[in-house]
Amino acid sequence: MNMCPLCNGFNQVEYTCAKCGHKTEDMGRVMDYFDDYSAYMEIEQMKLIDGITTTASDHQCAHLFYCILCHHEEVMTIQE
């Protein structure tokens, strides 16, 4: 079983906002924002409907990064 290093606290990453260059904050897995129950559903199944074709096949975890300065949101894939 693959594990996301960000979800499990093994690593931290820093991305800069593509819009303004300010440091973004990791807001967690994109799939956790789908609905009230998505955070409790099977991760591998959710990857099949997360809208990113490579997350399941390439063992990636899609995270939402948010810029508090300009409010830009960007999805980045993290290798598990």
Strand, helix or coil at 33? helix
Residue ranges per structural domain of the chain:
1-80
| The residue type at 59 | H
Encode the chain (80 residues) as per-residue pLDDT tens digits: 689 999 999 999 999 999 999 999 999 999 888 888 777 788 888 888 888 899 999 999 999 999 999 999 999 999 99
44 DSSP assignment: H
pTM for the model stands at 0.85
Q: What does the pLDDT look like over 30-39, one tens digit per residue? A: 988 888 877 7
**58-72 as b/e: b if 16+ CB within 10 A:** ebbbbbbbebeeeee
